[in-house]
Amino acid sequence: LAKTTQPISMDSYEGQEVNITCSHNNIATNDYITWYQQFPSQGPRFIIQGYKTKVTNEVASLFIPADRKSSTLSLPRVSLSDTAVYYCLVGDGAGSYQLTFGKGTKLSVIP
Amino acid sequence: DSGVTQTPKHLITATGQRVTLRCSPRSGDLSVYWYQQSLDQGLQFLIQYYNGEERAKGNILERFSAQQFPDLHSELNLSSLELGDSALYFCASSKTGGNQPQHFGDGTRLSIL
């Protein structure tokens, strides 16, 4: 399973755009990149998933360069409610999807 | 609301006991996953079932076992409980597994006294 590396923590002011970068140097050809958000004492919530280039949905954008060795989750105009832990995961699509959650990035949004 | 239901929400028991945690996946999801999250720790993958069959195994202790029933609900059995088993146990489901995003329940908080 490919390992991922993310910053342990980040701080941001309300209203700013936040970019969290994840490195996954050993990503396999058929691996997708998926981001989850987790609030304390709650289950992780799926945010976005991508394979290459750029993916955008109503809450975030995911940028993946051509070599796919890293990815960046972009949260536009964060609010206090975006304070959470964000996990970047990669995994193979070969039938099972054994997710390996690292420590994630603890994002603190400051008023 | 993720659509994944876990019961009970809280469970308090003593060392040496056995407990069963239950998970109902989202409607239409065939794959169920179990995770353990200890205090200030990341989520540890335990086991995955797909349509009733075990598909992948992670860091699951021999004292723990799981199964997925024909109606697709799943149970995680924890026996000979130790203090270190105190944790949040999450169940997640996805349509088929593979690259499908997983949807997590709110977890069962297990406290061993």
Give residue-wise pLDDT tens across range A82-109: 999 999 988 755 545 566 777 899 999 9
Mutate to test the interface with A, among B89, B99, B110 (most CBs of A within 10 A): B99
Residues in chain A predicted with pLDDT less than 70, given as ranges, are: 1-2, 92-99
Residue length of chain B = 113
CA distance linking residue A29 with residue A90, whole number of Å: 11
CB contact under 8 Å between A94 and B48, yes or no, is no
Reduced to 3 states (helix: H, G, I; strand: E, B; else coil), residue A81 is helix
What was the pLDDT predicted at A88? Answer: 92
CA distance linking residue A93 with residue A31, whole number of Å: 6
By C-alpha distance, the chain A residue nearest B57 is: A98
Q: Tell me the per-residue pLDDT of B24-37, one tens digit each, with 9 for 90 and over.
A: 999 999 999 999 99
What was the pLDDT predicted at B41? Answer: 73
What was the pLDDT predicted at A31? Answer: 84
> Distance, in angstroms, between A111 CA and closest chain B CA?
25
DSSP chain B: --S-EEE-SEEEE-TT--EEEEEEPPTT--EEEEEEE-TT--EEEEEEEETTEEEEE-S--TTEEEEE-TTS-EEEEE-S--GGG-EEEEEEEESSSTTSPPEE---EEEEE-
Nearest to A95 among B33, B88, B98 (CB): B98
Which amino acid is residue B61, in one-letter code?
Answer: L
CB contact under 8 Å between A49 and B99, yes or no, is yes
Query: Taking chain A, what is the end-to-end CA distance rounded to the nearest angstrom?
Result: 38
CA distance linking residue B5 with residue A24, whole number of Å: 32
What was the pLDDT predicted at B15? Answer: 97
Looking at the complex, does the CB of residue A91 fall below 8 Å from at least one CB of chain B? yes
Nearest to B48 among A32, A44, A98 (CB): A98
| Cis amide bond preceding B8, omega within 30 | yes
Residues in chain B predicted with pLDDT less than 50, given as ranges, are: none
Q: Which is nearest to A87 in space by CA: A26, A44, A25?
A: A44
By C-alpha distance, the chain A residue nearest B94 is: A97
